[in-house]
Amino acid sequence: MSNQSILKLAIQKSGRLYEDSVGLLKSCSIGVSNGGGRLRTVASNFPLEVYFLRDDDIPQYVEDGVADCGIVGENVLFEKNKKVQIEEPLGFGKCRLSLAMPKARNYEGVQGLRGARIATSYPHLLGQFLKQNKVDAEIHEISGSVEIAPGIGLADCICDLVSTGSTLISNGLKEVEVLLRSEAVMVSNQHLDFPKRQLLDKLLFRIRAVRKAKNNKYILLNAPNDRIEDIKKILPGMKSPTVLPLAEPGWSSVHSVVQEDHFWDIIEDLQAIGAQGILVVPIEKMIV
Ligand code: ATP
Ligand code: ZN
């Protein structure tokens, strides 16, 4: 039997983080599926064993070393308050933990919550927030459907996860305070042995390359030679842009990498100084 190390990764078995977690592994060329409701599986192309769990259990499993690492929302991680290492934000599962109340009610600031009954699945984070603000309120812990609590008279307000806010609106609630902004993160056990640490670093290297690529585009354009210097100023590229002569005399083709965030501004500037035939293509992996 081989004694080669294998990294054990815990991900959500179904729910909002499942697709993106599996998708992230896939984009790192690691095949995984929980087909048939399996609880664990060995990945193809990487020494990785994946455990499919409820997200709430992931911090504990990673702290105990049952899993070496895991993908979980910061909201769950901070609520559970387990001793694990945060390795890397992953850019999905974005949401916020917010206080909300019936829209007809007047919000008088945090101090106005004194004596209020607040329903939540996040008693630890809410308790911390109230303590920081020196407000005494009643925390009602419920495990789901928190947003209906005010409507049925169970609470005056709620502390719950929000992403678009449409669930709040359809329950006649308004968001009045943000306690935490959250996204999915990779966490790890604090006492990984060297071979596992190396495997995790290898996985993180791939994840960073994929995420970087997603935020960047490869751009190609044609321009008259006398505009190249101006174009270089707009398109710094990874080192500097690639400039190749076109068959047509006096013209060149310029290749570079631009960040998605700055993309449209850059395109406008390029057109304004005479760039033509601009092509933009996605990058699959980016190692810098
Ligand atoms: P489980 O069965 O694993 O316990 P769950 O019902 O607790 O699932 P989901 O609703 O699938 O959890 O949400 C998982 C995570 O997705 C949340 O903890 C949070 O990090 C993230 N998330 C992103 N947007 C939202 C949102 N609008 N509402 C709830 N969670 C969100
Ligand atoms: Zn959960």
The alpha carbon of 132 and the centre of ligand 2 are apart by a number of angstroms equal to 26
Summary mean pLDDT of the chain: 94
The secondary structure element, H or E, covering residue 181 is: strand 173-182
pLDDT at 33: 81
pLDDT at 34: 77
Pocket test residue of 11, 12, 55 for ligand 1, highest count of atoms within 8 A of CB: 55
Query: Is there an atom of ligand 1 within 6 Å of 163 CB?
Result: yes
Reference 17, options 5, 29, 25, 8; nearest CA is: 25
The secondary structure element, H or E, covering residue 118 is: strand 117-120
Over residues 217-257, the pLDDT tens digits come to 999 999 999 999 999 988 877 778 999 999 999 999 999 99
Domain 3-93+183-213 class in CATH? alpha beta
Reference 227, options 253, 247, 207, 209; nearest CA is: 253
The alpha carbon of 99 and the centre of ligand 2 are apart by a number of angstroms equal to 19
Q: Where in the chain is the domain with CATH 3.30.70.120?
A: 216-282
Question: What CATH topology corresponds to 95-182?
Answer: D-Maltodextrin-Binding Protein; domain 2 (3.40.190)
Q: Where in the chain is the domain with CATH 3.40.190.10?
A: 3-93+183-213, 95-182
Q: Using the predicted structure, report yes or no on whether residue 147 has a pLDDT greater than 90.
A: yes
The dotted CATH code for 216-282 is 3.30.70.120
Question: What percentage of residues in the chain have a pLDDT greater than 90?
Answer: 89
Over residues 66-122, the pLDDT tens digits come to 999 999 999 999 999 999 999 999 999 999 999 999 999 999 999 999 999 999 999
Query: Is there an atom of ligand 1 within 6 Å of 98 CB?
Result: no
How large is the average pLDDT for residues 138-154? Answer: 95
How large is the average pLDDT for residues 108-137? Answer: 97
pLDDT at 37: 80
In the structure, ligand 2 is a single-atom ion and the residues with CB under 5 Å from it are 55-56
pLDDT greater at residue 38 or residue 169: 169
pLDDT at 263: 85
The alpha carbon of 265 and the centre of ligand 1 are apart by a number of angstroms equal to 35
Q: Using the predicted structure, report yes or no on whether residue 130 has a pLDDT greater than 90.
A: yes
Query: Is there an atom of ligand 1 within 6 Å of 55 CB?
Result: yes
Q: Using the predicted structure, report yes or no on whether residue 1 has a pLDDT greater than 50.
A: no
Helices within the chain (DSSP H only): 18-27, 58-64, 74-80, 123-132, 166-170, 194-214, 228-234, 263-272
Phi first, then psi: what are they for 284, rounded to 5°? Answer: -85, -45
Pocket test residue of 95, 168, 181 for ligand 1, highest count of atoms within 8 A of CB: 95
Pocket test residue of 11, 14, 16 for ligand 1, highest count of atoms within 8 A of CB: 16
Closest listed ligand to the CA of 11: 1
